[in-house]
């Protein structure tokens, strides 16, 4: 391929990818596509995974995008897809980029609204997938405990000094320290 056909930045599925990266690595940068799925897509198109993605033609880029949007069209098995038995459609599909984020957050909100056990765990910020929580996962779970900085020690209260009694006569009894009302 000539240098004139090389593209420095390729846009696939809404993601800008540097043209100097190898095909497998570049496709796995797209959110929702892992290394293995990228390899399967490239094998189904008979493309060299070691080739730089900047040398792809516009036709090949469009074909990759259609495969990413509908991988079952090429015969990719359902267990490779990240959304099997969808609650809304009932079918198997593969989600990428922001669709993946929206669907996951919708699933969590549905679990919360149904008040399932998983929903409760999500609501309280606890582990959801059956992990042991006796000794791990202790950060952020304290309820009713407010942690503040160290408190400084307070200085002892100063003792008021005794004033001599009026009249010059000193007695053995210490003078009282109650304040007298002042009139002005």
Please tell us whether the domain made up of 3-80 is placed in CATH 3.40.640.10. Answer: no
What is the tens place of the pLDDT at every residue in 38-89? 999 899 889 988 889 999 999 999 999 998 888 877 788 888 888 888 888 8
Q: pTM to 2 decimals?
A: 0.62
Q: How far is residue 19's CA from residue 6's CA, in Å, rounded to a whole number?
A: 8
Mean residue pLDDT across the chain: 81
Ordered by start, the domain boundaries in the chain are 3-80, 96-131
């Amino acid at each position: 391929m000539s240098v004139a056909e090389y593209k420095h930045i390729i846009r696939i599925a809404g993601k800008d990818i540097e043209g100097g990266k190898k095909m497998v690595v570049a496709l796995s940068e797209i959110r929702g596509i892992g290394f293995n799925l990228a390899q399967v897509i490239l094998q189904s198109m008979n493309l060299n995974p070691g080739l730089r993605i900047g040398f792809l033609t516009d036709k090949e880029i469009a074909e990759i995008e259609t495969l990413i949007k509908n991988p079952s069209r090429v015969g990719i098995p359902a267990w490779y897809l990240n959304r099997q038995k969808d609650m809304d459609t009932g079918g198997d599909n593969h989600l990428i980029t922001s669709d993946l984020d929206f669907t996951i957050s919708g699933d969590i909100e549905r679990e919360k609204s149904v008040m399932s056990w998983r929903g409760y765990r999500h609501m309280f910020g606890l582990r959801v997938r059956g992990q042991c929580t006796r000794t791990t996962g202790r950060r952020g779970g304290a309820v009713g405990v407010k942690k503040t900085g160290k408190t400084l020690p307070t200085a002892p209260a100063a003792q008021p000094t005794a004033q001599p009694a009026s009249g010059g006569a000193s007695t053995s009894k210490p003078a009282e320290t109650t304040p007298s009302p002042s009139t002005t």
